Amino acid sequence: MKKMIAGVAAALLAATLALPCGAISAGSAILLDAQTGRVLYERQAERQSLIASTTKIMTALVICEQTNVLDRVRIPKEAVGIEGSSMYLKEGEILTVQDLLYGLMLHSGNDAAVALAIYCGGTVEGFAELMNDKAQRLGMKGSHFVNPNGLDNPEHYSTAKDMAILASYAMENPIFYKTVSTKTVKIGDRYLRNHNKLLWSLEGADGVKTGFTKAAGRILVSSCTRRGRRLICVTMNDRDDWNDHKTLMENGFADFTVRQIVSFGECLGTLPVISGDGNTVELLAMEDFSYALSPEEEPQIILSKPDFVYAPVVQGQSAGYAYVTLEEKTIGKIPLVYGQTIEQQTVKEPSLWERLWKGGRT
């Protein structure tokens, strides 16, 4: 996952889906293959924008990583009567962290966001610092958070690309995944239904969050998993987001498949050995490498290695890198090691008789 995030953050290579002109209504959008980190589609993906309640993806992730979801939380007065969408918390009532996560992600409760923020960070401001720290560690360079719920603030923003990075990472957290993939849940006398309509209308949809304010427009971050492959889609300021996500997801699964290009332990080449008891040594890949590719795309493997190596050579010793390229752009870097130990060739010393005989010859 860390390698995938690094790949996305570096924007290795973007592909173009075969979409008709005007098919997508979003002001900015991105479609990401979560397994390989390849961007399959993008439009103004690094443009900063208000993100409304999709902010709660970061809120939930920080809570999942830094608290115990079985902990019981007494609702403080600061979390009651928050503007916007709400699960209508009451001061002094006690709910578990998991209950509040459901209220946060299914019902988009702004009050649940504040309750969780205060419980985890002490204050809303303290929790925002945790959010920004996590964003920095994930490589979300175009994002800044000032609150846990996404209420409009000029200092609170992100990009489609950053939100895709965040969602890809968050969906690997089992508690987060369980929460956002839940369609309905009953908490006491509260019946919560997930606002994400794709859970009912798109095959394989399993997350993640909706968002809307008048200033931000309609924002949607979605996840869809089919046959073990996950795509993440983000649209911002999109009046037709449900249909746009369906279009992007269906095309992403149809137009690209993940192919394994290199296997761990695979011999990718050989290297001449000078002064060794063997003439060549194999160069073995130390990692698997897969990538989302269209049928007509053929990646190339380029070895970064010297022309030869002097013995001795030790099996498992670092031997440089193999670079996987596509359309002259690097999409992967794989460490190599030597496949065998090649000892230095032993030079036999001449015997006394051989030295005398050679010295006596004319």
Cross-strand pairs, 42: 30
CB 241 within 8 A of CB 24: no
Q: Tell me if residue 222 is catalytic.
A: no
Active-site residue, 178 included: no
**CA–CA dist 162, 141 (Å, integer):** 7
Catalytic residue among 53, 85, 86, 143: 53
Mind giving me the DSSP string for 231-250?
EEEEEES-TTHHHHHHHHHH
What is the Cα–Cα distance from 201 to 194, expressed in whole angstroms?
A: 13
- The tokens 């002094």 sit on which residue? 92
Which 8-state DSSP code applies to residue 316?
T
- 158 is a catalytic site residue: no
Catalytically annotated residue among 49, 85, 86, 108: 108
d(CA 220, CA 226): 20
Token pair listed for 155: 């200092």
Sequence-distant (6+) residues with CB within 8 A of 68 are: 97
Enclosing H/E stretch for 197: none
What are the C-alpha distances in Å from 73 to residues 65, 105, 277, 287, 342? 17, 17, 70, 44, 64
Active site (catalytic) residues: 53, 56, 108
